[in-house]
A and B are shown apart, each in its own frame.
Chain A
Amino acid sequence: MKSDHFRLNELSRRSFVERVARTAFGLTLLPFVPGESLHAEEAAAPVRSGPGTPGFGKAKAVIMLQLSGGLSQIDSFDPKTGASKGPGSAVGTKADFQVSSYLPEIAKIADKITVIRSMTAKVGVHEQARYLMRTGFEKRGTIVHPILGAWGQHYLGASHETLPSSVCINRPSQHGNGFFPATMSPLPILDPEEGLPNAVSRAETPILQKRLALLNEMDRQFSESAKSGSVNAYNEFYESTLRLMKGKDLQCFDLSKEPEALRERYGKNRFGQGCLLARRLVEGGVRYIEVESGGWDMHKDIDGGMEDRGAEFDVAFAALISDLESRGLLESTMVVVATEFGRKPEFDGSGRGHHPLVFSCVLAGGGAKRGYVHGASDAAGGRVERDPVTVGDLHATVAHACGMPINTPVVSPSGRPFTIGNKGKPVAAVFS
């Protein structure tokens, strides 16, 4: 058991370093803080990023596909033989690597994607792992970290006049703005079929105008007497909502504008339609879109799970990549396949347990290499064999692709400096 002594020491050391950094070097030179990163040695110097470095700024938009619950790497992008082999088998693809037979459609577009087979993390509990994947930070009781979309809005400004800069599809908006203002939280679209419900006023315009005028006056006293951040955030939400209602871009949220054949191609399910909606939003000018797919926690019945969830994902992801490519959007749009953690090489009955030590993620477009595998797991699929990539590194990689100044820290309202992915390092090798 660790002693209190040790803990206090560490904390005081940390705050000492922060203080010295602020007073002596300025924030951008903040040295490595113990306990905050996996890369003690490398993180001391700023990582290589910025204009001119490979892949920097290629991505104008990001589509983050979150497979919630823990995608089994062995039964998807990192198939194995021997004792770890899943119910599916390894099949060849259009690139020179194999995927599991559960992903036949992705096999056909494998020549357009980069698979990272050496993702690694420490957290094997859902909420914490999901938090880590969405924010690039480990969950703490003391602060809430922003998602990449909010970082993007902070560094690069709003991506559109009336549309939000971030949208999350199939999930509510918690895990959003973090320590940035609440207005940087993503707009949640809970059901892609419904798009953005209630976006049109039911009252005639003149009546609406009068109502709003009265509302502004009547509410002023309360809004001003309560100088609270949360009341102010609500005031700002009202304003941005009114801008959105008046703007001409609401049709971005309307899937009925898409041809039926294309809708079928993405799969008529929430994830598939969510991916299609994401593409529409990219075209409309939204920078960061997250699409969530639930039900990946396959403790039991991997086979059944991959047959339904896996097939939905396979079809939708392949359709999205082909669609973006055919519209000339793939080079400027980075599509990321993310999950909470991997699953164990060993079976527990018909399923597999949580396994953060090694798992797979995918990058496609936005300057990422085509038909490439980065890193490797060991023969059993239980450990990283080479080129480990942390979740923070993945965040830094995506942020780098978007052209964010990842070496410039942001100081939170509580006075603590933060950088994207907690000083994560972009994986230069994935860029062509």
Chain B
Amino acid sequence: MKPIPFRIVATLAATTLVLLAAPSKEKRRGNTPEPTAPEDRAAPATSKSSHLWTASGGEKLEAKFLALENGIVTVEQADGKKVRFPLIRLSDEDRQFAEASKSAQPRPPMSQEIISKAAARLDESIQVSLSKAGLKPNPALGDAQFVRRVYLDTIGRIPTEAEALDFINDPAAGKRANLINSLLNSPGYTMHMYNWLADMLRVKDDYGKGAKAFLYEDWLKEQIAMNVPWNVMVRDMLTADGKLNVNGASGYLLRDAQMPLDGVSNLMTTFLGANVSCAQCHDHPFAEWTQHDFYSMAAFFGASDGFHEDVYRKTRKLAKSPELTQVGKGVVTQLLTANAYNLVDLPANRLKFPADYKYKDAKPGDPTVPELIRWTDTATENPAYKLTLTKPSQLRNQFAEWMVHPENPRFATSIANRLWKKAFGLAVQEPVSDLDDPDESSNPELLALITTYMKQAKFDLREFQRILLNTAAYQRQASEAPEDPKSWKLQGPVLRRLSAEQAWDSIVTLICGNEADQLLLRRGDDLQRTAIPEDQINIQTVKHMAEEMKENGTPLRGGGGKKGGGNARALALFYEGGRPQVRSGLLLARASELQQPAPENHFLRLFGQSDRLVSDTNTTDGSVPQMLQLMNGPVQETITSGSAAVAAALRAKSPADQVASLYASFLGRRPTSQESSRALAAMNEGLKVPDLAWVLLNSREFLFVP
């Protein structure tokens, strides 16, 4: 692999066309104090002076240190642009500088003692519910099972042979806690969390007609890489201003800019577990949501405007203009459409009750009045509800303040419950998108406890997960998922198939080893150059822009394309930290660092990656095409014809060692003596190391987390 860090340096020199500066964040922040985020976490030290960073390859970049988390350094350039790169790509000197800058920051994680106490308390609660039901917990996991599971749950891939064996052979007493800590602090954690969030937030490259959300994707990764607390991150998403091609944070709300009511429904479901989608059109048939409730909540977004049809029509007209035929319709829309996505606040709330409103509490066409929903009568005493409505342009901010408040009745519970599901395969209360009926919880005390811990961790998702992974409950054998989630007593995690992303990332690991953890996709920079003020959207600007991009060889499309890996080589140009290999048409980068979502016939989609149209729709169901892919497709071809795993096995001295090496690579364990002798017999009958690799790839055990 040819390392080419700091691709940004090359492209920055050509950035002469940023016609619109990033919007000032001051406007919103001015009126919004940040009571929810303690200073030590909300803002990493930004007062540091600029530093000249040098990559191991000699490239240089001048920027301020922002954060070092998960093995990723985030820096900020003089123009405010943030850049992330893997720590290991820095010169030794700069690596030390980054470590020193980090330790100067007042961001201590929770102590191991606090983590262990919290984990023990959770185990206690689980034990009580098991005893009540007369059930015993599942047996504890062996080290081999643990290492595979914890790699998958923290950094989203199986361990390499060396990683698995290092852990299994490590005699240290606290080795499990140590491994959890080191994995949560590695780049793979950012990738795995991003996949998880991308399913939940419906992250998508393409917002339609050429508008790309690359900056939003970069922004999300930045947030995870800097370990920004969840409440701060969500607040920033809901209060962001500006264009899709200028401000990454605005990408969340702009995702639904063309259907803002659906957007409100989505965010209520995602962040609060409030199942309001029915109430958008009529009173909920069996929950307590009325259509009036829905419109009163939606009113908080009634002054916001995201999709500007006038701008959109202007760009469509230009695309058809004969003077631009040379540039091409596709390129013109690519260049311009994102300008129609611009999150702004108008002076008035324009949302009205719909024309077919049929209840007595309002008439069709009545203006809506913003009102926060209350789940209990005591809500009036709750500090989250203490807000005074000022001007309509501040409605969104006030809503955000209420939503991410630690005392919001749902915000902490919702994310804690979701992370529980991430670790255990099933949430304490299912479905995670609907927490309206507390009777549906499998263990109400446990739900209350994890809510408390989420608040105590100050919405630091990494610390919260550290608690869950340190429980005895997590470190037990898996059980079959119960048919009724409410009856789940948590004997252990539920038996899961690898998610699409875990399966793909594991395969990439089998092929390239752990190198892919250091390859970071970054596509937002070129996009910023397409931000054009409305009055400058004309033929001349487009021509000028197109020419300039051509001169610089800017690949605008971001490596999109319908076919799986069809444009793999184009996409390969967009990585910080090196250039990924392309083999059998497969771009060997982690799932988070590929198109979002992956093309429809990509391995990822076959194995259930969501199409990102609807939240939480990753699936783990089987299908015939999956089997065909594993038995006959390019993945098995690449693995058998020359992968890191096969090469490692071929280096082993004896056939028995070869078998053992493959077992460690694929399954993170040693073969039983029976397995070993059966495999050796097959080798005597003519099967070779690549054939054994094929067999292990196709084994059910490979696809599941026992």
Contact = CB atoms under 8 A, between A and B. Distances in A.
B682 A210 contact: yes
A126 interface: yes
Nearest to B619: A174
Interface residues of A, number: 75
A377 to B, nearest CB: 15
Given A2-B288, A128-B277, A300-B258, A211 B691 contact: yes
Contact of B600 (A190, A200, A226): A190
B619 A227 contact: no
A366 to B, nearest CB: 26
Interface in A105-127: 122-127
Nearest to B628: A198
Contacts of B555: none
A7 B281 contact: no
A169 to B, nearest CB: 12
Interface stretch (B96-104, B111-119, B135-143, B697-705): B697-705
A218 interface: yes
B290 A218 contact: no
B236 interface: no
Interface in A209-247: 210-211, 213-215, 217-219, 221-223, 225-231, 233-235, 237-238, 240-241, 244-245
B675 interface: yes
Contact of A237 (B258, B431, B622): B622
B621 A185 contact: yes
Contacts of B700: 219, 222-223, 226, 231, 234-235
A194 B265 CA distance: 37
- Of the listed residues A196, A222, A357, the one surrounded by the most CB atoms of chain B closer than 10 A to its CB is A222
Nearest to A186: B623
A173 interface: yes
B293 A217 contact: no
B285 A35 contact: yes
A214 B695 contact: yes
A10 interface: yes
A197 to B, nearest CB: 7
A44 to B, nearest CB: 21
A187 interface: yes
B605 interface: yes
A124 B281 contact: yes
A201 interface: yes
Contact of B480 (A2, A223, A228, A304): A228
Interface in A187-203: 187-188, 190-191, 194, 196-203
A12 interface: no
Interface of B is mostly: loop
Interface string A163-197: 01000000011101000001001011011001011
A223 B281 CA distance: 47
- Of the listed residues B277, B678, B679, the one surrounded by the most CB atoms of chain A closer than 10 A to its CB is B277
B627 A237 contact: yes
Interface stretch (B192-200, B413-421, B519-527, B609-617): B609-617
A231 B621 contact: no
Contact of A187 (B258, B601, B624): B624
Interface in B433-447: 433-434
B695 A300 contact: no
A191 B601 contact: yes
Contacts of B356: 357
Interface in B240-296: 258-259, 262, 265, 275, 277-278, 280-288, 290, 293
Contacts of A202: 632, 636-637
A392 B433 CA distance: 26
B556 interface: no
Interface of A: 1-4, 7, 10-11, 35, 122-128, 141, 164, 172-174, 176, 182, 185, 187-188, 190-191, 194, 196-203, 207, 210-211, 213-215, 217-219, 221-223, 225-231, 233-235, 237-238, 240-241, 244-245, 299-301, 304, 346, 349-350, 356-357, 413-414
Interface of B: 258-259, 262, 265, 275, 277-278, 280-288, 290, 293, 309, 312-313, 316, 355-356, 430-431, 433-434, 480-481, 483-484, 495, 497, 562-563, 600-601, 605-606, 608, 611, 613-614, 617, 619-629, 631-633, 636-637, 672, 675, 678-679, 682, 685-687, 691-692, 694-696, 698-701, 703-704, 706
12 contacts: A35-B285, A191-B600, A202-B636, A207-B687, A210-B687, A218-B695, A233-B621, A235-B700, A237-B623, A237-B624, A413-B483, A414-B483
